[in-house]
Chain A
Amino acid sequence: MITHPQKVEDMRERATLLNDMEQDLLAGRTKTAQALGWYTNWLAQKIKKHDYSKDFPTENYSPQ
């Protein structure tokens, strides 16, 4: 598998979260930004370490 769709989905979510965090901080909503920060870091770890291939329904990709 070159790229797992779920990994791309997680990357997309993280990009959105970082954007939201920035907006929250600019608006002075530090508590919300902090909560988002925790989740963003958790997602970063998942993207880095999680074995996405295990989530993949392999039977769809076996020959014939």
Chain B
Amino acid sequence: MSAEQIIKRIQAERKTVNAELYNAEGLLRLQETMSAYEGEYRLIWSDELLKELENRPKESLHATGLSILDDVIGGFKEQQLITIGGHTAHGKTQFGLFLVEQYEKLNPLIIPLEQSNEELVMQRRDNGYSIPKFLSPRSLAARVTCDWIEERVVEGIAKHNTKLVLIDHLGYINDFGKEGEFKGENTAYRIGQVMKGLKNIAKKWNVIILLLVHISQHDEGKPPSLEAVKNSSDIIQESDMVILIWRKNTLKKKVRVYEDKMLVSIQKNRRTGKNGSIGLAFDKLTGRYYEENDWVKSMEESARQSVEAEDMFDSL
């Protein structure tokens, strides 16, 4: 090999080594910076976190006022995104309004996207029901986005110290992203982004968000399960709690007859992990719900017996 060839090889090698060195020095600088990092996003050990939590003043849970429900969920707390799902005409809005009335002290804000605020108030007035005290936007934007909802939440907090927000319902939030970046994405993806946006609002502004959602068509004669929640698995994933409601009904001569009894089923509960179902009855005089659990117990008992009977049959 001639000296010229050797020099060429060395030059090529030097080029490679310099490039590798550049990368390695960058990593080393990053490593040194991160080892001294004490900022807001620093990593902390779980025992340190526990100590911090123990020194923090105890968080207060906001009880719903329904003792059996409170036994299961322990009440709602700020920063939670609570999804309430149910069929059309099964009482989602009424149940939402009932909760708003229970939480009047939290200066609730309603974002009424399905029925207008005027309709909500007039309907209850015409039926002679109590009208809960709530805030709502004078008018709605042509396209309701998470940013628009966030502005209303901030207005509620700034003017009235709002702690609870009811959104009726998810299907009407039409968010394509700040620069329309989600426009080409499918519905499930866009709903996922909306759910993340709402969860972010709950956390950032320290409010409870009650989000009403529709569920897919299935046998209305049976209480729904989580699989019935429409369009995106992110709805369940991003929610801190998922409550499914079902209005008791029977099919009589091809006509569905609805009763004034409602099953409230806690299907997901991130805070305590406790699930359960409770029965409510609707008082037609006041438009309020009260607990009536006997029919739920007998329903659960007959479901248990039928499972046992199936098991016995299988073992034969």
| A interface residue numbers (CB < 8 A to B) | 1-3, 5, 7-8, 11-12, 14-15, 18-19, 21-22, 25-26, 30, 63-64
Contacts and interface: CB of A to CB of B under 8 A. Distances in A.
Majority DSSP secondary structure for residues of B touching A: helix
B14 A18 contact: yes
Contacts of A7: 24
Contacts of B28: 2-3, 5, 8
B6 A25 contact: yes
A30 to B, nearest CB: 7
Contacts of B27: 2-3
Interface residues of B, number: 18
A14 B17 CA distance: 8
B31 to A, nearest CB: 5
Main SS class of interface, A: helix
B10 A22 contact: yes
A22 B25 contact: no
A3 B20 CA distance: 12
Contacts of B20: 11
A21 to B, nearest CB: 6
Given A2-B31, A18-B14, A22-B14, A8 B3 contact: no
Given A3-B24, A11-B20, A30 B3 contact: yes
B24 A8 contact: yes
Candidate in A7, A15, A19, A63 with the most chain B CB atoms within 10 angstroms: A15
Contacts of A19: 14
Interface of B: 3, 6-7, 10-11, 13-14, 17-18, 20-21, 24-25, 27-28, 30-31, 45
A18 B8 CA distance: 11
B3 A18 contact: no
Given A8-B21, A14-B17, 6 more contacts: A18-B13, A18-B14, A21-B10, A22-B10, A25-B10, A63-B45
Contacts of B14: 15, 18-19, 22
A2 B27 CA distance: 7
A18 B21 contact: no
B17 A26 contact: no
B11 A22 contact: yes
5 residue pairs, one from A and one from B, having the closest CB atoms: A18-B14, A3-B27, A11-B21, A8-B24, A15-B17
B21 A12 contact: yes
B80 to A, nearest CB: 32
B45 A15 contact: no
A5 B24 CA distance: 9
A30 B17 CA distance: 22
Contacts of B13: 18
Nearest to B7: A25
